[in-house]
Amino acid sequence: MDFEAVANYSRLHAKPPGVSLQYGTAGFRTKAEDLDHTMFCMGLLAVLRSKQTKSTIGIMVTASHNPEEDNGVKLIDPLGEMLAAAWEAHATRLANAEEEELQAVLTDICQKEGVDLQHSAFVVIGRDTRSSSKKLSQSVTDGVSVLGGQYHDYGLVTTPQLHYIVCCRNTHGNYGTATVEGYYQKLSKAFVELTKQATSHRDGHMCLKIDCANGIGALKLKEMQYYLPGSLVMHIDNDGTKGRLNHLCGADFVKVHQKPPVGFEMKAGERCCSFDGDADRIVYYYIDAAGRFHLLDGDKIATLISTFLKELLVKAGQTVTFAVIQTAYANGSSTRYLEETMKVPVHCGKTGVKHLHHKAQEFDIGVYFEANGHGTVLFSKAAEEKIRYQAKEEKDNRKREAAKILENTIDLINQTVGDAISDMLLIEAILALKNLTVPQWDAMYTDLPNRQLKVKVADRRVIDTTDAERRAVTPPGLQEEIDDLVKKYPLARAFVRPSGTEDVVRVYAEADMQEHADNLAHEVSLVVYHLAGGVGEPPKTAAS
């Protein structure tokens, strides 16, 4: 390692004084102006990770659902999954090291992780559409180059596209071709095959209005349109030509505020969906004849996909282990429906798809979704092989047809990470195949009214949680106060947790009526404000 060159380059990407960052739920996130040094360090770290794993590593420059002025970065591991937890700690140490400590930290990581410095390193880089992303991705390439790593810059891509590309490169094309075109070809071929048997879309039912959060999703959907059949009519809105990224639009806005993007025109019954800024989340919604808004979030998506897969597995006569993985944000009704009506085992993990992904890997088929619309389905190698074999060799026509649909479903799903485009195509295919309208899908179960709020505190790390973030351990007395408040309302539940992507504490509450959920969320917010060092004005009610 040429430490002198590292030191020289590091001076060009100087660490801003007083900024201390942590590799959080999805990498580093903060104001873009504070990230140049972190980006450089992540270039260095990716080279070490690549040498250690003898694989291509990905670096995505994005702050996903955060506002335009923020940015962020995360590393992608060899099979397209999130960075291993031990390396998250290395990332935090490296990013926070002062210039004179850099050499010691790099050496220590190499020793601890047995990095073979003689091995070559290859890194692929992608970025979202933020105005700060291009320059920051150049800081990443400086870090990669100074340690002698090779790289390929894929430029503007969705986060899931880069995850897909990393996986393709490391599986030598088995997962698909490692290009954005390869991604379009793989998904569109599976979508066309899957919807061949559907009758409904021939009547023009596959018509969808898409809010792209003024982000990268719009660009990529427009490119992908050429690969998709004309029967899928996409009206792409919030495409970045007018509005600001994630501002009053996008999956996070729609989910949290439980209303359509501002200025989004919707006809009654029209099927609509929203992506987030880097197109790794999706939620669906519609308004009914009375003008009421209905949200179909990640829980409803998980339920739809699980129902579809379970029916096919029964038809194909396949016996596999199957589970749904949710987080504490999952609506109580969804968990009850999955467990009691669908008889599907449900597990609860900590927020962050990295946690859900690992749990889902324990099953032949693991469906994981966060309520915010971030999720996917994982198939074990054994289950995938069984399905592919049956799709080819099965003598029973009915079973073979079911296996073929399962096989195309596997190809349509981006198994590396939650992917708004892939999830959207799968949902469209399922609705077409099952001849289901969105109100019919919505009617599977009724959500308990719920409310999410954010509270500003001086240091959100004063809140520590346990039991998959459903209970607060610190500060003292907080959980007891929450328990007392929850007792006031029927069917109520509430929890608080520090966000890993924004400088806030998140509050979630659900109850039998919207008014109760709103009151409970507000009361819990006040408790957080008082016991966890709230700053600024005390939280206002959800209605205000």
Annotated binding site for substrate: 370-372, 497-501, 506
Q: Is residue 370 close enough to count as binding ligand G16 by CB under 6 A?
A: yes
Does 55 participate in catalysis according to the annotation? no
Q: Is residue 352 close enough to count as binding ligand G16 by CB under 6 A?
A: yes
Cβ 453 vs Cβ 445: under 8 Å: no
Half-sphere exposure of 23 (CA within 13 A, CB side): 25
User: Residues 103, 145, 150, 499: which binds ligand G16 (CB under 6 A)?
Assistant: 499
Candidates 302-310, 367-375, 384-392, 480-488 — which segment interacts with ligand G16 by CB under 6 A?
367-375
User: Residues 280, 299, 442, 510: which binds ligand G16 (CB under 6 A)?
Assistant: 280
Minimum gap (Å) between residue 70 Cβ and ligand G16: 10
Closer to ligand G16 at the Cβ: 500 or 533? 500
- What three-state secondary structure class fits 330? coil
Token pair for residue 66? 């955060």
Q: Which one-letter amino acid corresponds to residue 472?
A: A
Token pair for residue 322? 């199957």
Q: How far apart are CA 139 and CA 329, in angstroms?
A: 36
Q: Is residue 510 close enough to count as binding ligand G16 by CB under 6 A?
A: no
Minimum gap (Å) between residue 152 Cβ and ligand G16: 23
CA nearest 146: which of 42, 217, 63, 243?
42
Q: Is residue 501 close enough to count as binding ligand G16 by CB under 6 A?
A: yes
Minimum gap (Å) between residue 64 Cβ and ligand G16: 3
Cβ 330 vs Cβ 301: under 8 Å: no
Q: Name residues contacting ligand G16, limited to 15-44 (CB under 6 A).
A: 25-26
CA nearest 271: which of 419, 414, 443, 427?
427
Q: Name residues contacting ligand G16, limited to 258-277 (CB under 6 A).
A: 276
Helices first, then strands: H and E counts in the chain: 18, 19
Q: Name residues contacting ligand G16, limited to 156-175 (CB under 6 A).
A: none
CA nearest 352: which of 512, 469, 244?
469
What is the secondary structure of 79-123 as a DSSP string? TSPBPPHHHHHHHHHHHH--GGGHHHHHHHHHHHHT--TTS--EE
Q: Is residue 372 close enough to count as binding ligand G16 by CB under 6 A?
A: yes
Q: Which positions from 44 to 73 touch ligand G16 by CB under 6 A, shown as an x/- string?
A: --------------------xx--------
Closer to ligand G16 at the Cβ: 163 or 169? 163
Minimum gap (Å) between residue 14 Cβ and ligand G16: 27
Count of residues engaged in binding ligand G16, rule: CB under 6 A: 18
Residue 449: other Cβ atoms inside 10 A = 18
Candidates 4-12, 121-129, 376-384, 497-505 — which segment interacts with ligand G16 by CB under 6 A?
497-505
CA 360-48-82 angle, to 5 degrees, is: 20
Cβ 240 vs Cβ 156: under 8 Å: no
Closer to ligand G16 at the Cβ: 465 or 519? 465
Percent helix, percent strand, percent coil in the chain, to nearest 5: 45, 20, 35
CA nearest 178: which of 104, 272, 252, 80?
80
Q: How far apart are CA 348 and CA 359, in angstroms?
A: 9
Which residues face 380 on adjacent strands? none
Q: Is residue 533 close enough to count as binding ligand G16 by CB under 6 A?
A: no
Q: How far apart are CA 177 and CA 169, in angstroms?
A: 8
Candidates 121-129, 164-172, 189-197, 348-356 — which segment interacts with ligand G16 by CB under 6 A?
348-356
Closer to ligand G16 at the Cβ: 370 or 428? 370
Candidates 238-246, 494-502, 509-517, 529-537 — which segment interacts with ligand G16 by CB under 6 A?
494-502
Closer to ligand G16 at the Cβ: 53 or 64? 64
Q: Is residue 188 close enough to count as binding ligand G16 by CB under 6 A?
A: no
Cβ 318 vs Cβ 309: under 8 Å: no
Q: Is residue 505 close enough to count as binding ligand G16 by CB under 6 A?
A: no
Q: Is residue 351 close enough to count as binding ligand G16 by CB under 6 A?
A: yes
Q: Is residue 506 close enough to count as binding ligand G16 by CB under 6 A?
A: yes
Q: How far apart are CA 185 and CA 191, in angstroms?
A: 10
Q: Residues forming the annotated binding site? A: 64, 276, 278, 280, 370-372, 497-501, 506
Catalytic residue among 64, 137, 188, 525: 64
Closer to ligand G16 at the Cβ: 97 or 371? 371
Q: Residues forming the annotated binding site for Mg(2+)? A: 64, 276, 278, 280
| Total length of the chain | 544
Q: How far apart are CA 369 and CA 352, in angstroms?
A: 10
Note the residues at the interface with ligand G16 (CB under 6 A).
25-26, 64-65, 276, 280-281, 351-353, 370, 372, 374, 499-502, 506
Could you list the active site residues? 64
